Structure 1
Amino acid sequence: MSRRGRTASLPEAVHRRPEVVTSDGLVVEHRDRNGRVMSFDFSALPTAEPMQRSLATLFSARCHPNIWGSHDTSEQVWLLLKQFTAWISSLPEPPQDVDGITVAVWNSWRISRDTTTVSGYTQVRRVAGILLHDPRVVGPVAEAMARRLPKPRVKEKSYATGDFDQIRAAARRTFRNAHLRIQENMKHLERWKAREFERGSRDWLIGEALECLVRTGQVPCYPHPGNPVRVVHEYAQALGGEKSDFTWKRLFLTRPEAAALGVLLMAEFGLNLSVIDRLTVPRATPDSGLDGHPTYRLELVKFRRGPGRQHETRNVTDLGAGSSGRLITRALEATHPARTAAESLAQGTDRLIIWRAIMTNRSIGVDTLFRFGVTVGAGTQWAAEQGIKGSVFRRGRRTVNVVERREPGQNSQDTHDSIYVLPDQRAREAAASVVAAAAESARRQAEQAVLVAELRDEPTPGDVATATADCRDIGNGPVIAADGGCGASFLACLGCPNSL
Structure 2
Amino acid sequence: MSGRGHKAVTPPPEFQAAERIAPSGTRVAVINKEGFERVFDFTTMPVPAPMQRSLAQVFAEQSFNWNSHASGESYWQALRAFARFLSSQGHPAADLDGLTAATMRLWRNNNQNTPGGCEALAKVRTLLQRDPRLSSGPVSEELARRAPRCTTAPSKQSYDASDREVVVKAAERQFRSALLRIRANSAVLARFRSGELEEADRDWQLGRVLQHLADTGDVPRRSAKDAPYDVGLLGGRTRECTWGRLFLTRQELTALAVLMTDLYGWNLSVYDRLTVPTTAPTAGTTATVTYNVLVEKRRLGAGRWFIEENYTDTGAGSAGRLITQALEATRHGRALAASLAPGTDLLMVARQFRTGDVDSDLDRPRPVGPLCFGVSKSDGMSWARAHGIGSPFQRARRTTVAREGKPLQHSRGTHESVYVLPDRHVQKAAETVIAAGAQDALQLARDLTFRGQLTNVADPDHQETATADCADETSSPWLTSEDMCGADFLLCLSCRNARVHTGHHPRLALLHQQLLSMRSVWPDKLWRQRWDDSFQRLVDLRAKVNEVTWDAALARVTDRDREIIAHLLKGELAP
Q: CA deviation at 1:347?
A: 2.1
The alignment status of 1:149 with 2:148, answered yes or no, reads yes
* Distance change >3 Å, CA 104–CA 231, structure 1 → 2: farther
Q: What are the residue-to-residue correspondences of 1:26-175 with 2, within 5 Å?
A: 26-64=26-64, 67-113=65-111, 115-138=112-135, 139-147=137-145, 148-155=147-154, 156-175=156-175
Q: Is the 8 A contact 1:301 1:310 kept in 2?
A: yes
Counterpart residue type for residue 85 of structure 1: A
Using the TM superposition, name which of 41-50 and 128-137 deviates more.
41-50
Q: CA deviation at 1:471?
A: 0.4
Q: Is the 8 A contact 2:254 2:380 kept in 1?
A: yes
Q: CA deviation at 1:329?
A: 0.7
The alignment status of 1:386 with 2:431, answered yes or no, reads no
What CA distance in whole angstroms lies between the structure 1 residues aligned with 2:235 and 2:121? 55
Residue 474 of structure 2 corresponds to: none
What CA distance in whole angstroms lies between the structure 2 residues aligned with 1:476 and 1:84? 66
Counterpart residue type for residue 249 of structure 1: G
The alignment status of 1:471 with 2:510, answered yes or no, reads yes
Structure 2: gaps of 5 or more residues: 359-365, 453-491, 494-499, 542-563, 569-575
Q: Is the 8 A contact 1:357 1:368 kept in 2?
A: no
Q: Is the 8 A contact 2:222 2:228 kept in 1?
A: no
Residue 432 of structure 1 corresponds to: 431
What CA distance in whole angstroms lies between the structure 1 residues aligned with 2:367 and 2:293? 25
SS in 2 for 1:57: helix
What CA distance in whole angstroms lies between the structure 2 residues aligned with 1:477 and 1:96? 72
Residue 456 of structure 1 corresponds to: 502
Using the TM superposition, name which of 323-332 and 90-99 deviates more.
90-99
Q: What are the residue-to-residue correspondences of 1:185-334 with 2, within 5 Å?
A: 185-195=185-195, 206-220=206-220, 234-235=228-229, 237=231, 238-239=233-234, 244-285=239-280, 291-306=286-301, 309-334=304-329
Q: Deviations over 1:262-301 (max 9, x none)?
A: 1111111222333344321101225686543222111223
Q: Deviations over 1:396-429 (max 9, x none)?
A: 1221121x22233234444433332222122122
Which TM-score applies when normalising by structure 1?
0.80
* Distance change >3 Å, CA 241–CA 25, structure 1 → 2: farther
Q: Is the 8 A contact 2:164 2:396 kept in 1?
A: yes
What CA distance in whole angstroms lies between the structure 1 residues aligned with 2:230 and 2:129? 61
Say how many residue pairs are matched.
Answer: 475
Counterpart residue type for residue 434 of structure 1: V
Counterpart residue type for residue 388 of structure 1: I
Which TM-score applies when normalising by structure 2?
0.70
Q: Deviations over 1:22-73 (max 9, x none)?
A: 4544443322234343333334444444333333322222323xx2223322
Q: Deviations over 1:88-146 (max 9, x none)?
A: 44553344443344444444444544x43322222232233223322233422333344
Q: CA deviation at 1:382?
A: 1.5
Residue 178 of structure 1 corresponds to: 178
SS in 2 for 1:324: coil
Q: Deviations over 1:202-224 (max 9, x none)?
A: 7556544433333333444699x
Counterpart residue type for residue 421 of structure 1: V
Counterpart residue type for residue 294 of structure 1: V
Counterpart residue type for residue 315 of structure 2: G
Residue 370 of structure 2 corresponds to: 369
SS in 1 for 2:132: coil
Residue 339 of structure 1 corresponds to: 334
Q: CA deviation at 1:84?
A: 3.6
Percent identity at matched positions?
A: 37
Using the TM superposition, name which of 276-285 and 472-481 deviates more.
472-481
What CA distance in whole angstroms lies between the structure 2 residues aligned with 1:87 and 1:413? 35
* Distance change >3 Å, CA 480–CA 161, structure 1 → 2: closer
Using the TM superposition, name which of 208-217 and 317-326 deviates more.
208-217
Counterpart residue type for residue 268 of structure 1: L
SS in 2 for 1:51: helix
What CA distance in whole angstroms lies between the structure 2 residues aligned with 1:356 and 1:137? 52
What CA distance in whole angstroms lies between the structure 2 residues aligned with 1:201 and 1:45? 69
Q: CA deviation at 1:328?
A: 0.4
SS in 2 for 1:350: coil
Q: Is the 8 A contact 1:279 1:300 kept in 2?
A: yes
What CA distance in whole angstroms lies between the structure 1 residues aligned with 2:46 and 2:514? 86
Counterpart residue type for residue 149 of structure 1: P
What CA distance in whole angstroms lies between the structure 2 residues aligned with 1:178 and 1:192? 21
Using the TM superposition, name which of 289-298 and 156-165 deviates more.
289-298
Residue 346 of structure 2 corresponds to: 351
* Distance change >3 Å, CA 422–CA 360, structure 1 → 2: closer
What CA distance in whole angstroms lies between the structure 2 residues aligned with 1:21 and 1:258? 39
* Distance change >3 Å, CA 341–CA 88, structure 1 → 2: farther
What CA distance in whole angstroms lies between the structure 2 residues aligned with 1:360 and 1:310? 32
Structure 1: gaps of 5 or more residues: 224-229, 464-468
Q: CA deviation at 1:160?
A: 0.5
Using the TM superposition, name which of 34-43 and 297-306 deviates more.
34-43
Residue 17 of structure 1 corresponds to: 17
Q: CA deviation at 1:330?
A: 0.8
* Distance change >3 Å, CA 286–CA 27, structure 1 → 2: farther
Counterpart residue type for residue 287 of structure 2: G
Using the TM superposition, name which of 282-291 and 263-272 deviates more.
282-291
Cα RMSD, aligned residues only: 4.1
Counterpart residue type for residue 176 of structure 1: R
SS in 1 for 2:311: strand
